[in-house]
Chains A and B, each alone.
Chain A
Amino acid sequence: MSTRTTDRRSPAADGAPAADRPAPARPAPARTGSGTRERLTAGMFLAPAVLLVALFLLAPFGWTVHRSFFSDTRTSPFSWFENYALFASDPALTRSVQNTLMWVVGTVVLPFVLGLAIACMTDASRLSRFARLCVVLPYALSGSAVAVVWNFMLTTDGAVNQVLTNVGLGSFAQGWLLTWPGNTVVMILANAWQATGVAVILFLVGLRSIPPETLEAGALDGANGWQQFRHVVLPQLRPVSIIVIGMSLVNGLKSFDLIWVLTQGGPGRATETLAVSMYNETFLELRPGAGAAIAVVLTVIVLAASWFYLRRQLDVKGV
Chain B
Amino acid sequence: MSTGRVLRNATLTVLALLWLVPTWLLVVNALVPAESYSGSPHWLPDGFGLLDNMSEAWDRASLGPALGNSLLYSVVSAAAAAVTAAFAAFATVVMPVRRQALWFWVVYSGTLLPLQVFIRPLFLSYAQTSLYDTQTGLVLVYTAIAVPFAFFVLRNYALTMEREIVEAARMDGASWWRLFWQIHVPLTRSAMVAVFVFQFVAVWNDLMFGITMVTSRNIRPVMAALADLQGNYSNVGPPVVLAGALLVSLPTVVLFFSAQRFFVSSLRIHR
Spell out A's residues near B (CB within 8 Å).
2, 6, 8-10, 12-13, 15-24, 26, 28-32, 38-39, 41-43, 45-46, 48-50, 52-61, 63-64, 67, 114, 118, 121-122, 127-128, 130-131, 134-135, 137-145, 147-153, 155, 157-159, 162, 193, 196, 198, 201-202, 205, 225, 243, 246-247, 250, 253-254, 256-257, 260-261, 275, 278-279, 282-283, 288, 291-292, 294-296, 298-299, 302-303, 306, 309-310, 313, 317-319
Nearest CB in chain A to that of B11: its residue: A121
Contacts A142-B252, A298-B117 known; 15 new A-B pairs at CB < 8 A: A9-B159, A26-B96, A39-B96, A41-B95, A49-B84, A56-B122, A57-B144, A60-B121, A61-B117, A114-B15, A134-B16, A137-B253, A144-B226, A152-B238, A313-B270
**Given A142-B205, A257-B223, also A15-B104 (CB < 8 A):** yes
Would you mind naming 20 contact pairs between A and B with Cβ atoms under 8 Å apart? A19-B102, A20-B102, A21-B99, A39-B96, A39-B98, A41-B95, A56-B144, A57-B110, A64-B117, A114-B15, A121-B8, A130-B16, A135-B19, A140-B249, A141-B249, A152-B29, A243-B271, A275-B114, A295-B116, A310-B112
**Given A48-B84, A135-B15, A138-B23, also A296-B117 (CB < 8 A):** yes
Query: Are A48 and B87 neighbours in the complex by a CB distance under 8 Å?
Result: yes
- Measured CB to CB, the closest approach of chain A to B221, in angstroms, equals 10
Within 8 Å CB of B244, what residues of A?
A: 148
- Measured CB to CB, the closest approach of chain B to A314, in angstroms, equals 10
Query: Are B141 and A56 neighbours in the complex by a CB distance under 8 Å?
Result: yes
Partner of B26, one of A143, A144, A152: A152
Query: Are A23 and B268 neighbours in the complex by a CB distance under 8 Å?
Result: no
Query: Are A148 and B117 neighbours in the complex by a CB distance under 8 Å?
Result: no
Taken residue by residue from 28 to 58, chain B's Cβ proximity to chain A (1 for < 8 Å, 0 otherwise) reads as 0100000000011100000000000000000
- Measured CB to CB, the closest approach of chain A to B18, in angstroms, equals 9
Docked Cα-Cα span, A275 to B208, in Å, equals 11
Within 8 Å CB of A317, what residues of B?
A: 156, 159
Whether a CB of chain A sits under 8 angstroms from the CB of B183 is no
Within 8 Å CB of B268, what residues of A?
A: 2, 202, 205, 243
Docked Cα-Cα span, A196 to B118, in Å, equals 29
Within 8 Å CB of A134, what residues of B?
A: 15-17, 19-20, 23
Spell out B's residues near A (CB within 8 Å).
4, 8-9, 11-13, 15-17, 19-23, 25-26, 29, 39-41, 84-85, 87-88, 90-93, 95-110, 112-122, 125, 140-141, 143-145, 147-148, 151, 156, 159-163, 167, 170-171, 173, 176, 180, 204-205, 207-208, 212, 223, 226-227, 230, 233, 238, 241-242, 244-246, 248-249, 252-253, 256-257, 260, 264, 267-271
**Given A57-B110, A275-B114, also A145-B226 (CB < 8 A):** yes
**Given A121-B8, A144-B207, also A302-B167 (CB < 8 A):** no
Partner of A50, one of B106, B122, B170, B249: B106
